[in-house]
Amino acid sequence: MQNFQFYNPVKILFGKGQIASITPEIPVGARVLMTYGSGSIKRNGVYEQVKQALSHHTVIEFGLFRAFGEAKNR
């Protein structure tokens, strides 16, 4: 493995109505990697809110993560 440095500044927005606030936080032309778990994000409406807030960006989805250690055949 080659040596490298990884710098990852993070800004987290918490609270009601904050999903709509993410739009100005993302630079124009940026691509977004959207990760999520087993599906509650779609059942509770958060998925659609996020997709709407990111509608002017290229979004790559990497969804349906299993919890660490969760059995594969449940």
Q: Give the pLDDT confidence score for residue 70 in this predicted structure.
A: 62
In three-state secondary structure terms, 47 is helix
Q: Give the pLDDT confidence score for residue 73 in this predicted structure.
A: 56
- CB-based contact 46:15 (threshold 8 Å): no
The predicted-structure confidence for 28-71, as pLDDT tens digits, reads as follows: 999 999 988 877 888 999 999 999 999 999 999 988 777 666 65
The closest of 41, 42, 49 to 23, measured between CA atoms, is: 49
The predicted-structure confidence for 11-29, as pLDDT tens digits, reads as follows: 999 999 999 999 999 999 9
CA distance 25 to 9: 13
In three-state secondary structure terms, 35 is strand
The closest of 33, 24, 41 to 58, measured between CA atoms, is: 33
Domain range annotation of the chain: 27-62
